Amino acid sequence: MRYLHENGVIIDKKDNQLLYVPGEVGHVEFPSEEIWKIHKANPGIIYELSHTHPPGMLELSGRDKLTLKTWTFALAPYIFRMSVISYSLDEHGFIRTSFRGDLEKKEHWIERGKGVRRFTIVKENVEYLAESYLEGYREKWKKRLIKDSYEWTN
């Protein structure tokens, strides 16, 4: 298997694809204009930005953390997440790791006298996606992300 490049998808609460986003080596740029357009048409529908990473990179990058923080603030009060899908370097195959951006409640922030509003990143879920799942999986976007990001070689 050979890693090609990152790709991403914007998904809703039911794990359905709202928008597929092709990427580049080491980077996928989620289009701000499209995110705002989707959000304005149906506030709260954007649940997560998911994207692929190179093998073994199961955590958020620095840029991912900044993106998660930015969109958590922008889409508040709706809860926002980001996930990465990567090939594990052990026996687990593909893994999807999800992170939630936690923004301090507005009431607590005001009670504290404002200042910098507290933000934390919470690792929320780890989902193991066996390679065999590529043959047929309910969420077709996962299959597409992996197939577009990785090339199988013999």
Model confidence, pTM: 0.89
User: Residue 58: how many CB atoms within 10 A of its CB?
Assistant: 18
In a domain, 40, yes or no: yes
In a domain, 15, yes or no: yes
In a domain, 18, yes or no: yes
Give the residue among 22, 84, 82, 8 at the shortest CA–CA distance from 53.
84
What is the pLDDT, as a whole number, of residue 141?
A: 87
Residue 70 belongs to what domain range? Answer: 2-149
Q: Which of 45-54, 71-80, 87-96 has the lowest mean pLDDT?
A: 87-96
Cα 23 to Cα 137: distance, rounded to the nearest angstrom: 22
Signed CA dihedral, 43, 37, 30, 90: sign only:
positive
In a domain, 154, yes or no: no
In a domain, 53, yes or no: yes
Asked if 122 contacts 130 with a C-beta cutoff of 8 angstroms, the reply is no
pLDDT in tens, 73-92: 999 999 999 999 999 888 77
In a domain, 106, yes or no: yes
Percent of the chain with pLDDT over 70: 93
Residue 8 phi/psi, 5° resolution? Answer: -140, 170
What is the pLDDT, as a whole number, of residue 47?
A: 95
Cα 119 to Cα 67: distance, rounded to the nearest angstrom: 13
Domain count, the chain: 1
pLDDT category at 152 given cuts 50, 70, 90 is confident
pLDDT category at 129 given cuts 50, 70, 90 is confident
Q: Which one-letter amino acid corresponds to residue 68? A: L
Q: What is the CATH number of the domain that holds 135?
A: 3.40.140
Question: What angle is formed at CA 48 by the lines to CA 30 and CA 131, rounded to 5 degrees?
Answer: 95
**Residue 68, SS3?**
helix
Average pLDDT over residues 43-72: 96
Average pLDDT over residues 45-72: 96
